[in-house]
Amino acid sequence: MRITWLGHACFLLEEDGYRIVTDPYTGVEGYPPLEAEAHAVYCSHHHFDHDAVDCVRLLPARESPFHVREIQAFHDDQKGALRGPNTIRVFTAGGVSVVHLGDLGHALTAEQLAAIGPVDGVLVPVGGVYTVDAQGAKAACDAIGPKWIVPMHYHHAPYGLPNIAGVEDFLALWPAERVHPLSGACVDTATAPEGVLLPKF
């Protein structure tokens, strides 16, 4: 599986030529208009910065090599009372599983962790305010126990929502030798090192 960070919480997942885009954004400060092509689009919830499906051109339908599982969660720590539901998805293809946590706003329950199950990678929000903060993101990653982690949904000037934190607080929670800046936006899951991966936008 090949994963490309398209900015904010949006990723392109590819396997055998099949393309999935998750959480397409619009109107997020600093990011240029999203332009992407995919066979399928998934949104963790219906806020402008996660469900801009019109920004993704759909490719002709074909059989998907991906198996997709959904786990229901919340966008806040009050069971959705503030910001509504949030859908976690586990994408599996080519013997690799990655979980996109969407705008997770609370600690994962034992039931949710069991439903997520073993995965190779986690795409986790770290900016706080609308999602878990650095500490909450680290706790989620520790509980899931993946080989590698890609932080998302943070401010890195000039990109991102201006009132959320950068990635630095999250990175500070990991040993320096486990943080791996990447040379580009793509993660090749076959060769990805263990630890926190930092794709470039």
pLDDT tens digits for 61-92? 999 999 999 999 988 888 888 888 999 999 99
Residue 13: band (very low, low, confident or very high) from pLDDT cuts 50, 70, 90: very high
3-state secondary structure at position 113: helix
Give tens-digit pLDDT for 100-150: 999 999 999 999 999 999 999 999 999 999 999 999 999 999 999 999 999
d(CA 137, CA 102): 12
What are the helix (H) ranges across 15-133?
Answer: 110-116
Please report which confidence band the pLDDT of residue 197 belongs to, taking 50, 70 and 90 as the band edges.
very high
Residue 38 pLDDT greater than 90, yes or no? yes
| R_g over Cα of the chain | 15
pLDDT of residue 109: 97
User: What is the rounded CA–CA span in Å between residue 157 and residue 159?
Assistant: 5
Read off the pLDDT of residues 150-184 as tens digits, 9 standing for 90 and up. Answer: 999 999 999 999 999 999 999 999 999 999 999 99
Q: How far is CA 166 from CA 17, 118, 175, in A?
A: 33, 28, 18
Name the pLDDT band for 9 (thresholds 50, 70, 90). Answer: very high
DSSP class per residue in 18-37: EEEEES---S-TTPPPP-EE
Domain residues for the domain of 91 are 2-198
pLDDT band of residue 29 (cuts 50, 70, 90) is very high
Number of domains in the chain: 1
Predicted local confidence at residue 83, as pLDDT? 87
| pLDDT given for residue 26 in this prediction | 95
What backbone torsions phi and psi does residue 137 show, to the nearest 5 degrees?
-65, -40
The CATH number covering residue 11 comes to 3.60.15.10
For 53-65, the pLDDT digits (tens) are: 999 999 999 999 9
In a 13 Å sphere around the CA of 102, the CA atoms on its Cβ side amount to 28
Nearest Cα residue to 201 out of 159, 150, 144, 164: 159
How many whole angstroms separate alpha carbon 173 and alpha carbon 180?
14
- Percent of the chain at pLDDT > 90 equals 93
Whether residue 35 has pLDDT greater than 90: yes
